[in-house]
Structure 1
Amino acid sequence: MTGNPPQLVLPAGLVRAIAALPAKDQQRLDDTFTRLHAANGHLWDAEDRVRGQHLTVLQVADCKREIDQFNSERNALAERADEVLGSLAGAGGTDAPLHTETIASVVDRLSVLTLRIWHSEQAVARDELMRRRIPALQQQREELCVALDTLVADAVAGHRRLPAPARFKIYGRDEPSSAEVVPSRHLKQVIAFGGLSESGKSTSADYVRQACGAHRFKIGYLLRQSAHRHGLADPYMLSPRRQAELLLEELNRFAEAHVEAQLFTIESVHDDASIAQLKLLMGDRLQIVYLDASFELRVERSGTLPQAVAAKDEVKISRGAREVASIADHVIDNSGSVIDLRARLRRISSSWGPHQLRAMATYGLSLPAEVATATTDFTDAIRTNTAVWLAALTGSPTAGPWIACWSDIDLLVIADHAAAEQVASALGRYQSALEGTTTIGLTLATREELIARRLTPRLAFALYEIQHGQPVLHATPGLELPTISRKELAVAATHELPQVVLTMRRLRAGADATRMRQLYKHLVLACRLILREHGMWESGPDHILASASRLPGLPAFDVPSLTDVVSEWQDGGSDQAYKSVINAVDQLLTWYAAELAAA
């Protein structure tokens, strides 16, 4: 079938009568007749679908509910139209003969006949009988239009009375689907929060929204939206399977319109049957979280009387809220600390798992012999401890060639807290071995902090680099790490940049040639963070500064290459590079302040 059904065309006599009504009534009738015709079109489609040979018993039942729903809607719309059309009646009083049906009932028949003609025309190519029926159907329509105009004229003149418009019909409202709904490829992950009143569902969903960038929805909102799209009044009358399909349809619709979205949350999971069906449709893309807490604690959190919480619990329990715990992927006892709750939520909502890390011997990193030897000794000293999970160099030792008196050692160690003393002892020997050669900074993090994503921006970037091929010195097989995305790093850059700018401004305030190294490194770091906010991922100081010089409104930096800056730093003679660095820092700080002021 091609195209859409034709619009409903009213006969001329009825159109003239309606034109005599107030503008508000004219608009109301136009809207009502348009919706009535649309409801008849939906009803026709539903009656076609219910005849499908491959429908399940449940789908047939749902189709029947949908048919009832559209019949209910057409009756309601006809009643609404007759309430307005009743004002057309003249002053004939009770002596005028009573007509058998209302004007809107005739319009409803006209709508159905219009659809019948159109569907017959669409079927001509496959059914010759339809071709012979069309002239008769068109004749019926002409006669019905004449009869309707006659009825309107008689009613306006008071020669005929119209019956009361009320139909007193009772129908269920439901909506089926003849094909299985599947998750959109853009629908990555959904977390559904269930639990009794004041158990922490909304608090948890809001935290996931703020911390993880999730899009937050209420189940009731999704169902109402889907019901509105399908012309359904009460989606809760659907079978659990159909409710689940409606929810998935709406989630799919949003995900496809926001392809950048990675995570969604849905709240108010009180019906165990429908959420179980949604789990069958979505599989592991849906994680059901049940939050539990004692009644006394929930009352305390609510700030209301126990009777009020108990009354809300009773409603939720009657819908199956308590049974959600038996099918949940995660049951969280939410009577502990906020830190505990948030750590659990971050693990559930974040991507993590074993990564293929690239291990490399220290001597493969192009380090000076004494640095490589000391680094190897440090690694050997901690790798035997089973509580040490990973050791890696980050920053300049892996980003480029080693520069004497300029490059630093940045160590990342992931270990249980119990290993901290051994790591500290090994670090002390490491520092002693390289005293006067370089400075060493250590970041010591636990696996729990990483998986709960309690990460500083620099730690997040270090993990990102490791997961994208930067070599490590030691890693326990099967180590699970949080997956860090570029989007997260762009957000992290906005949090780290203010601190870097403050430090750079402090260094600039007391600047002399001895601080050139610090100023230069902070200038490069600030530019790298700003570039990340712009979606640009440069590496290497020279490339970073050149790219930053092309940012809108920022004057081009006149900073020598890293090689020249280092050469001047090591020689301690000319201060030309130092002045260039100072000028670039001033340019960047002035530009940054102006950009913020513009906001």
Structure 2
Amino acid sequence: MTQNSPPLVLPPGLSRAMATLQDKDRRRLDDAVTRLHTVNGRLWDTEDRVRGALLSAAQVADCKREIDQLNAERNALAERADEILGSLADAGRADAPLHTETLASVVDRLSVLTLRIWHGERAAARDELARRRVPALHGQREELCAALDALVCDVAAGRRRLPVPARFKLYGRAGNAPAQIKPSRRLRRVLAFGGLSECGKSTSAEFVQRTCGAQRLKIGFLLRQAAHREGLADPYALSARRQAELLLGELNRFADGHVDTKLFTIESVHDDASIAELKQLMGDKLQTVYLDASFAVRVERSGTSAQAVAAKDEIKMSRGAHQVAALADHVIDNTSSIVALRAHLRRIAAPPTATALRVATPYGLGLPAAVASATADFTDAVRAYGPGVRLVALTGSPGEGNWIAGWSDLDLLVVAEHEAIGQVHEALEQYRTALNGAASLGPTLVTPGELTARRLTPRLEFVLHQLQQGSPVLHTAPGFELPTSSRDELAFAAVREVPQVILTMRRLRADAGPATLRQLYKHLVLACRLLLREHNQWESGPDRILTAASCMPGLSVVSVPSLAEVSSAWRDGDAELVLKPVCAAVDQLLSWYAAQLAA
């Protein structure tokens, strides 16, 4: 609606009747009437604009399309209002005289009359005829308000009946009236970035694209695509609702054409009205992110003058860019570090999910009695610290149920608030003392913030995935949620981790000897496990992993003694017996890996 145009003030009788409605119906009615008045304002403006003498034929056609769309929306809103207003009628008087129009039709006339008065008063300063008409228009409004209140009273008392509210309007060819557009089932999630100039919209969208695999799109591009498809010269001249429908239509097309894409980003949100309409169409599938930063910070980041940034701000603010903050699902203060910004974005783009974690005791993990007892004491100790410790789990071989005494490590994961880490350190010292050399302890301490911000190593991502798939935990705080790691994400994580594992394995191979057998064998298994993930193969257990690796393209059979043989030789001090075949397998894998990368 035109800037500063008047609100629609309903007559007191109707307002009192509306107050008797249930809260839900009253909110729906208020929304329908408010939007009806807004649409009437847009219609007035568009009909004024189409009369411009300098408009091209294409612009006139655009205005006509907009008028048709607004009229269709006007009728739909009036029908919606009548559905609720009809509940005010006394349905028991079927013989009551029938009124000529519905209550919403009268409200619609009141809306148009309110706009006519406002425009007349604006024109009165320069037009004598308009000035003379203003008192008569006010008189018409008073009469219409009185008539509407009387009609409401008669309808509620059963003295009048209302006609059927359906208008049965047809726009376009018969049978070709557009249905309300809905999000495609393949359009799963959209992040819309808004904010003023140099606030970080593009930086944020690029980060989400790189880390979450999002499809990155610009709102301007989507509208231009839609305009070309619909034969529109200027989509920005359309109503906010119509722009939102065009945007959703293009998003649906992209989602249907990219079925594996789970997340889309759109930028830049400069129009609060159209993004509000898009939110109504998409619901929670659309999350609006407003990036806020002070003018001084934005000027410093821009590398240009303050005047240049201010000029761009003025254009954006004229479209309502600054008002997007009030509608946004997330507002980020982007004056801090890039670390803080990325942490916010990861929480929004990949929120944690409620997972029913499987809690077990150390005595059910196949551990020796002394090790299980020490582990139980440690778990009890950190549990006593309260909600500061969120999760405790043994990962690796204990979690997979294939612990081997004298060979396997105790890989411990503790998720705790930073303030509780000192207490966890004390408990770990007591844990090591209680183990008395029975096992090597390898703790990983991580904060909940690191998890939700996805500041994770590839190995930690895989551990979290295992926990979500049912690997046991020793303790979890009520309501604790883990970030979700899909298999696709783990495969990408494997790509990042393989180079480090290969470099370490190559170093261990250069120093190969009985003392390094255990590390060399474990890195051989880990490298094969990661390479299999790249081939979308998911195996567990060293023997099965090495057997499956032999089936990778171009790699001949990897002949390695079984885990039982290797671990037994290690524990018995006979590492030389298995060192040679393990080294041969490592050489074979390293040669294959070098050949693959040189191809």
Q: TM-score, normalised by structure 1?
A: 0.70
Separation in structure 1 between the aligned mates of residue 299 and residue 420 of structure 2, nearest angstrom? 42
CA contact (8 A) 2:354 2:479 kept: yes
Deviation at 1:233, TM superposition (A): 2.1
Structure-2 residue corresponding to 1:438 = 439
- SS for the counterpart of 1:352 is coil
In the TM superposition, what whole-angstrom CA distance separates every residue of 1:447-489 from its partner, at most 9, and x where no partner exists?
A: 0111111111111111111111111000001012211111111
Which residue pairs with 2:552 in the alignment?
Answer: 551
- Provide the rounded CA distance (Å) in 2 between the counterparts of 1:574 and 1:372: 28
Match of 1:368 in 2: 368
Per the TM alignment, residue 570 of structure 1 is displaced from its structure 2 partner at its CA by: 2.7
Give the letter for the 1:314 counterpart.
E
Secondary structure of the corresponding residue to residue 553 of structure 1: coil
How far did 1:242 drift?
1.4
Distance 2:306 2:437 in 1: 68
Asked whether the equivalents of residues 400 and 540 of structure 1 are also in contact (C-alpha less than 8 Å), the reply is no
Question: What letter corresponds to residue 475 of structure 1 in structure 2?
Answer: T
2:198 aligns to what?
Answer: 198
Q: 1:326-475 to 2 correspondence within 5 Å?
A: 326-386=326-386, 387-475=388-476
Q: Deviations along 1:286-309, whole A, 9 cap, x unmatched?
A: 111111111121111111111111
Helix, strand or coil at the partner of 2:321: coil
Q: Greater shift after overlay, 248-257 or 406-415?
A: 248-257
Q: CA deviation at 1:210?
A: 1.4
Q: CA deviation at 1:517?
A: 1.3
CA distance in 2, matches of 1:573, 1:311: 77
Mapped partners of 1:286, 1:218: distance in 2: 15
Cα deviations by residue, 1:311-345 (Å, 9 ceiling, x for unpaired): 11111111111111110111111111111111111
Other structure's SS at 2:267 match: strand
Would you say the 8 A contact 2:351–2:452 is kept in 1? no
1:230-379 matched pairs, under 5 angstroms? 230-379=230-379
Match of 2:219 in 1: 219
Partner of 1:571: 572
Give 1:177 shift: 7.2
**What are the Cα deviations for residues 363-397 of structure 1, in whole angstroms up to 9, with x where unaligned?**
11121111110100110111011211110000011
* Aligned residue identity for 1:330: H
For the residue of structure 2 that corresponds to 1:287, the secondary structure is strand
SS of the residue aligned with 2:179?
coil
Question: Which AA in structure 2 matches 1:504?
Answer: M
* Structure-2 separation of matches of 1:177 and 1:561: 70
CA distance in 2, matches of 1:527, 1:227: 52
1:70-103 CA distances to partner (integer Å, 9 max, x unpaired)?
xxxxxxxxxxxxxxxxxxxxxxxxxxxxxxxxxx
Matched letter for residue 549 of structure 1 = S
Q: Distance in 1 between matches of 2:303 and 2:72?
A: 50
Question: Equivalent residue of 2:241, what SS?
Answer: helix
Structure 2 residue 74 is the aligned partner of structure 1 residue 57:
yes
What are the superposed Cα offsets for residues 559-580 of structure 1, whole Å, 9 maximum, x if unpaired?
1221222222233347443211
Is this contact kept in 2: 1:183–1:252, CA < 8 A?
yes
**TM-score, length-scaled by structure 2:** 0.70
| Amino acid of the structure 2 residue aligned with 1:408 | D
User: 2 CA distance for matches of 1:177 and 1:594?
Assistant: 61
| Partners of 1:204 and 1:575 in 2: CA distance | 54
Measured in 2, the distance between the counterparts of 1:519 and 1:253 equals 51
Structure exhibiting the larger radius of gyration computed from Cα positions? 1
Deviation at 1:283, TM superposition (A): 0.9
What does the per-residue CA deviation read over 1:169-205, in whole Å, with 9 as the maximum and x for residues that have no partner? xxxxxxx971111111111111101111111111111
Equivalent residue pairs, number = 439
Bigger mean CA deviation after superposition, 568-577 or 435-444: 568-577
Any gaps of 5 or more consecutive residues in structure 1? 1-38, 61-175
Partner of 1:6: none
- The answer on whether the counterparts of 2:517 and 2:575 sit within 8 Å (CA) in structure 1 is no
- CA distance, structure 1, for counterparts of residue 396 and residue 472 of structure 2: 12
User: What root-mean-square deviation, in Å, do the aligned CA atoms of Structure 1 and Structure 2 show?
Assistant: 2.4
Q: Equivalent residue for 2:523?
A: 522
> How many Å separate the matches in 2 of 1:549 and 1:177?
61
Distance 1:221 1:177, change over 3 A: farther
